[in-house]
Amino acid sequence: MHACKYVAGHSAYIFCLTMITEIIKGGGIERAAQIIKAGGVVAFPTETVYGLGANAFDERAVAEIYRAKGRPQDNPLICHIASVEEVSEVAAEVPDLFFSLAGKFMPGPLTVVLKKGNKIPYAVTAGMDSVAVRMPDNPTARALIKACGCPLAAPSANASKHVSPTTAMHVYDDLNGRIPLILDGGECRVGIESTVLSLVTPVPTILRPGAVTEEMLSEVLGEVKTHTGRIIAAAPAPGMKYKHYAPRCRAVLAQDAKDALNLYRSAESEGLKPVFISAGRMPEFDGLNVINMGRDEEAAARIYAALRDAEKAYDYIIVQKLDGGGVEKSVMNRIFKATANEE
């Protein structure tokens, strides 16, 4: 699979570590399952974002995910299952609470952290005794897991630290030459990653907010906390300590349209080419560079594509603050990180 080229004058072949990345739209499940069963990785659509999947029982296949993404080894992966019963394949001592949550939110954008089962290698959980489990609500994802006959360990299919992918082209832009196959299932419906909820903490704790909100979870759980820790090494979702969702140019947060206009004008005066990602139509910006992400569910579905489109065509991104509750809070969690400009 690796391309190999002979360089004249040199006595050896130079391995370029590139491979042809194929994109299949509609179908391709059997071919994808073949690759995964042979220990490879495949990108596939879910309702949240695209994932990069490998056999969760195969330590070497899982190592391939980290290599392809350039992901730090201490950031654990989510195990994707196709039916609720399969939870016993990945987790141990599954509490009743999990099944109550599953009855209401699975399949769907909820990941639950449980005690790790013996069959899951520590490569998946980054050495931890807990494991994250999710049952995606996307026909391609479910068909793929079934065809593989094993749970799929899968992070979002972006290059580490970059904005998550919500189309097959986003995956291609980041991982072309690094993975053999992308299953193209069109645009992701939800658009931001799943809510991560830990059931191994004394009180159920949201480690990453998503489309399944604290209010929705509290109806099932009663008490639920949201982890509000800063990006620290001891954060219970290890991934939280890393830079995330970073566009490839500077991105800043605007409190409102007026603030955005000031930032826009001063960027222009510095010779930059700014763009404003707005929450709805802003008449002040008529004739200027704007990408409208909308609000609520629409903003969730559009934010990552907006950031990716913005970084391609402009060199200074201004994002409008969303002040609503529910899913807007989860979108803001991503916007804060995208505009943190952390190293």
Q: Which stretch binds ligand TXA (CB under 6 A): 72-80, 211-219, 283-291, 322-330?
A: 72-80
- Contact letters for ligand TXA, residues 181-210 (x by CB under 6 A): ------------xx-x----------xx--
Cβ contact 21:176 at 8 Å? yes
Residue 267 binds: one of ligand TXA, Mg ion, none (C-beta under 5 to 8 A by kind): none
The Cα diameter of the chain in Å comes to: 71
Backbone angles phi, psi at 107, to 5 degrees: -70, 150
Q: How open is the CA angle 308-290-210, to the nearest 5 degrees?
A: 50
CA distance 238 to 234: 7
* CB 87 within 8 Å of CB 133: yes
Cα separation, 237 vs 56, in Å, equals: 19
Q: Is position 337 an interface residue for ligand TXA (rule: CB under 6 A)?
A: no
DSSP string spanning 210-243?
A: -SS-HHHHHHHHSS-EE----S-TT-SSGGGGS-
Options 43, 62, 107, 111; binder of ligand TXA; rule CB under 6 A: 111
Which of ligand TXA, Mg ion, none does 131 bind, CB closer than 5 to 8 A by kind?
ligand TXA
Interaction residues for ligand TXA, span 218-237 (CB under 6 A): 236-237
The site map against ligand TXA for 233-262 (x = CB under 6 A) is ---xxxxx----------------------
Instruction: Number of residues interacting with ligand TXA: please give it, by CB under 6 A.
Output: 30
d(CA 192, CA 237): 17
By rule CB under 5 A, what string of x and - marks binding of each residue 142-161 to Mg ion?
--------------x-----
Q: How many alpha carbons fall within 13 Å on the CB side of residue 212?
A: 30
Query: Considering only 7-15, 44-52, 284-292, 293-301, which stretch makes contact with ligand TXA by CB under 6 A?
Result: 44-52
CB of 49 to ligand TXA, least distance (A): 5
Least Å distance, CB 159 to ligand TXA, is 12
Q: Which of 34, 130, 160, 226 binds ligand TXA (CB under 6 A)?
A: 130
| Contact call for residues 293 and 280 (beta carbons, < 8 A) | no
Contact (Cβ atoms closer than 8 angstroms) between residue 212 and residue 129: no
Q: What is the number of other CB atoms lying within 10 angstroms of the CB of residue 307?
A: 28
| In the complex, least distance from residue 158 CB atom to Mg ion, rounded to whole angstroms | 6
Rule CB under 5 A: which residues touch Mg ion? 156
Rule CB under 6 A: which residues touch ligand TXA? 46, 48-49, 51, 75-78, 111, 113, 125, 128, 130-132, 134, 136, 154-156, 193-194, 196, 207-208, 236-240
